[in-house]
Amino acid sequence: MKIITCLIVDDEPNAVQLLEDYIQKIPYLMLKQKCYDAFEALQFLEKEKVDLVFLDINMPKMSGMELAALLPKGQCIIFTSAYASFALEGYEYNALDYILKPIIFKPFVQAVEKVRDYFQAQTANKSFVIAESKKEFMFIKSDRKHIKIYYDDILYFEAQQEYVKVVLANDSPVLVYKRMKQLEEQLPSNFIRIHNSFILNNNYLDFIVDNHASVKGEKLPISASYRAKLIAIIENNTL
């Protein structure tokens, strides 16, 4: 398992100490440095790279948001703050998570697990370049018919109780009696699970904003548990 190197940036010594204690409890995390303001963090990052920055938002001189805007594209960030109102703005910087203060251990673990998943997804995505046999179509059993559907024509899948709705680019949706988990295991790599109820075709993903993905003008929800994998795939294909 990859060791994830960390930087803490927070002007509150107690918060820094708490995060340091938590980091030491997670075997795949390694603390590289503690900084007590944004300028100190910038000086450190000019010389060193880290995988993950725990970044406080409310700091004097330069806020965490202002610092995030100066960090390299693709830098993994977990924002920390006592104010929940900053959470939405934090996701504009592709933060993988947002932890409310006072920080307790369970949300901390959940946040760093998203970072771990992010790096695992990046590795899997890069190694995937080894040839997958190209699947072009699938047959779907619907209303006593076996319907041939080309993967390139599928926008997304949506769970509807015991059925899955297959939403197509240029045709009416098709209902199939199948579980999302079973379906997900059969799909090519360009199909990404973004929610318990949604799998999208990455070829039709226009953009993501906040916790939604836009697919041909439709907004699909992105759940926190799948966000890290989606961001990893996007970052891996970003210029």
Report yes or no on 29 lying in a domain: yes
234 or 117, which is more confident?
Answer: 117
* CATH code, domain carrying 215: 2.40.50.1020
Q: What is the mean pLDDT of residues 38-59?
A: 94
C-alpha to C-alpha distance for 87 and 50, rounded to whole angstroms:
23
- Domains identified in the chain, total number: 2
Share of the chain above pLDDT 70, in %: 88
Report yes or no on 84 lying in a domain: yes
Per-residue pLDDT tens digits for 110-165: 999 999 988 887 776 554 443 344 568 888 887 777 888 999 999 999 999 888 99
Residues 6+ apart with CB under 8 A from 56: 9, 10, 11, 12, 15, 64, 79, 80, 81
Q: Provide the token pair at 235.
A: 């970052």
For residue 63, what pLDDT is reported? Answer: 92
Answer yes or no: do 123 and 201 share one domain. no
Q: Are 78 and 23 in contact (CB under 8 A)?
A: no
Q: Say whether pLDDT at 230 is over 60.
A: yes
Report yes or no on 132 lying in a domain: no
Report yes or no on 122 lying in a domain: yes
Give how far the C-alpha of residue 92 lies from the chain's centroid of Cα atoms, to the nearest Å. Answer: 12
Q: What is the mean pLDDT of residues 28-47?
A: 95
Report yes or no on 82 lying in a domain: yes
Answer yes or no: do 142 and 123 share one domain. no
User: Which one-letter amino acid corresponds to residue 154?
Assistant: I
- Which of 75, 108, 127 is the C-terminal boundary of a domain? 127
For residue 139, what pLDDT is reported? Answer: 86
Report yes or no on 99 lying in a domain: yes
Strands 97-100 and 76-81: parallel
Q: Provide the token pair at 4.
A: 């994830």
Q: What is the mean pLDDT of residues 19-35?
A: 96
For residue 229, what pLDDT is reported? Answer: 80
Q: Which domain, by its residues, includes 114?
A: 4-127
Residue 180 backbone phi and psi in degrees, to 5 = -60, -40
215 or 143, which is more confident?
Answer: 215
Residues 6+ apart with CB under 8 A from 18: 102, 103
Answer yes or no: do 115 and 13 share one domain. yes
Answer yes or no: do 33 and 53 share one domain. yes
Answer yes or no: do 113 and 141 share one domain. no
Answer yes or no: do 122 and 22 share one domain. yes
Residues 6+ apart with CB under 8 A from 115: 4, 51, 52, 76, 78, 96, 97, 228
Answer yes or no: do 36 and 59 share one domain. yes
* CATH code, domain carrying 35: 3.40.50.2300
C-alpha to C-alpha distance for 129 and 111, rounded to whole angstroms:
29
Residues 6+ apart with CB under 8 A from 117: 228, 229, 232
Nearest residue to 8 via CA among 116, 112, 85:
112
